[in-house]
Amino acid sequence: MNDLILYQQYRPQKFTDLIARESVSKVLMNEILNKNIANAYIFFGNKGTGKTSIARIFSKAINCLDLEKNGDPCNKCVNCVAINDSNFMDLLEIDAASNRGIDDIRELKDKIQFAPVMGKYKIYIIDEVHMLTKDAFNALLKTLEEPPKNVVFILATTEINKVPETIISRCQRFDFLNASYQDLSDQLNKVIKLEKIKIDDSIKELIITVADGSFRDTMTNLQKVLAIYSENLTYKDVVTILNFPDIEFIKIIWKDLFEGNLDTILDNFEKNTINIISFIKNSLDFIKKVLVNRTLSKKYYDIDDEIFENISTQKILNIVNILIKTLDDIRVSSSDLVCLEISFIFMMQDLNIEYKAPVQNKSKSLETKIDLKKTVLITEDNILSVKLRNNWTEIIEKSKVFNHHMSGFLSKSAFSFDDKKLIIIVPFAFYRDMLIEVKSKEYLSSLIKEVIGDDFVLDCIVDKKVKPIVSVSQQKNVDEDDIKELFEIDS
């Protein structure tokens, strides 16, 4: 098999190569043929729905030296070849989700006045544009208000509601729907044919199911399958390689949930990198069977439904509703697992299940890089930490305005000070990943400032054994013992 990533290898190179997306292609091809190019476009859709692929095809077409009659790029001229090889100096791709992205936007303002070097148009593709900071959006808006000649912006986002209206209104907008089962099946069959391999229909179905409407994930899944491909490839092999949650896994998770072992569940998901969407869909399928058996008062489906025995039908229906909503939330979220965790917390509340905190271990986790005891010696920090701790509940409550994930995370976290830094200690890596996103960080810093009046540089570390602060912070009077307890100092 070729070393090149399948998704890149089989990335459509012209509009007519695309599976689906006819409506977007048609409009863009017309604009190209009529030389009626807008200054800015915004592409909105889920991950892997073809936004970047179309942005690149469009970039080629408007710079192509030998455009085809229908508006497709030739893929042969110097400009097309340069773009295909990622060597085109007038095409700049910015990932707004990275820190680098924000610097790029600032630089962009200075460089943008220069004419294109290689082609007719200079193109800026800004991926995940909703991640830009307020300052970066302002900088971008200024540029869009007075667009330099021969510059085209293509903004791509999975969360259009987080992009300022002022920006959207200056762009031509295209919405990219999820690929249908048939679209993904067409794409998969095309590549399988070109790779000259044979794959069972049941396996193809699994690949498409796990991809959940994403062209890119379909190719990534196929790549994983090809990595273990042999004549004797079985369905079970593919279940394993795609981290597909089978019925045994599903039963373990629900059993743990009803016993309040949320941490065990999250560990299990992290360790097995389970596909969350498949987990939810398979759980819904299982729960449907439980409900049918219960309604018919007989074993219509031959399943082991003991786990749900003590849960009332109404409560099971609540679970179903929460799961369906989670699927929606996942489509616009950066972390599938976070969405699922929040839903689990809602379910536990609804079912009056008490959260069982993990057993505290005296020895510090290896991942804790700072010495918590050291910081206690600094008096100023003690005052600050008492202040912050007294207001922690308020901060958790207010952070819901940003999103429920943040407040959920903070309620299971602690903090410490290291030099001038305020360090949030979280139990899971994906909490940290979310909290250190530029926008989350900015929001949290300003919220803390608003509540306790002090400015902090924020950082975040993972400690699986972290003791959430929330229960102690609710006490009105904080004394020395609390501080000792907070920093786990033996008296």
Kindly list the residues in this chain that would bind Zn ion in the complex (CB under 5 A). 64, 73-74, 77, 80
Residues 6+ apart with CB under 8 A from 9: 2
The one-letter amino acid at 186: D
Place of tokens 């005296």: 362
| Residue with Cβ nearer Zn ion (52 or 75) | 75
| Residue with Cβ nearer Zn ion (79 or 385) | 79
Q: Minimum CB separation from Zn ion for residue 39, in Å?
A: 22
| Residue with Cβ nearer Zn ion (78 or 292) | 78
Q: Minimum CB separation from Zn ion for residue 5, in Å?
A: 24
Decide: 347 and 322 in contact? Cβ < 8 Å: yes
| Residue with Cβ nearer Zn ion (77 or 197) | 77
Which strands form 40-45's sheet, in the order they lie side by side?
Answer: 91-95, 122-127, 151-157, 40-45, 172-176
Q: Minimum CB separation from Zn ion for residue 57, in Å?
A: 11
| Residue with Cβ nearer Zn ion (72 or 381) | 72
| Residue with Cβ nearer Zn ion (81 or 252) | 81
Cα distance between residue 10 and residue 193, in whole Å: 12
406 three-class SS: helix
Q: Minimum CB separation from Zn ion for residue 2, in Å?
A: 24
Q: Minimum CB separation from Zn ion for residue 407, in Å?
A: 51
Q: Minimum CB separation from Zn ion for residue 224, in Å?
A: 34
Q: Minimum CB separation from Zn ion for residue 170, in Å?
A: 29
Pick the closest to residue 43 from 132, 130, 144, 141 (CA basis).
130
Q: Classify each residue of 325-346 as buried b or exposed e, where b means 16 or more C-beta atoms within 10 Å of its C-beta.
A: ebbebbbebbbbbbbbbbbbbb
| Residue with Cβ nearer Zn ion (73 or 101) | 73
Decide: 220 and 275 in contact? Cβ < 8 Å: no
Question: How many helices and strands (H and E) does the chain possess?
Answer: 24, 8
Pick the closest to residue 76 from 87, 66, 86, 85 (CA basis).
66
Nearest-5° Cα angle at 95, 93 to 96: 130
| Residue with Cβ nearer Zn ion (74 or 451) | 74
426 three-class SS: strand
